[in-house]
Amino acid sequence: MKGTKQAVWRYTISETARQEILEWLLAPNHKIYAKEMAAGLHEKRKGKKAAKADVDEGRGAGGEEQGWEAEGH
């Protein structure tokens, strides 16, 4: 099909419809996430400031020691 031109279609929806769709999708997403949290499938995340402080102090974003000193040198 080299050389053929295809029409480009773009569909848009109103802002009200977009918000309604997002709310409709988020409700089951929150329920699934809550079940996964209860089952221990997700770790609690640190905030950006706490993660940055860990990196600044030589620890990874998860708080673990990294680098030369962590290897026992």
Q: Between these two residues, 49 and 60, which has the higher pLDDT value?
A: 49
Q: For the chain, what are the domain ranges?
A: 15-59
The answer to whether residues 22 and 13 touch, using CB atoms and an 8 Å cutoff, is: no
Sign for the pseudo-dihedral over CA of 28, 30, 36, 42: positive
- Per residue in 14-39, pLDDT (tens digit) is 999 999 999 999 999 999 999 999 99
CA–CA separation, 35 vs 58, rounded Å?
A: 34
pLDDT category, 73, cuts 50, 70, 90?
A: very low
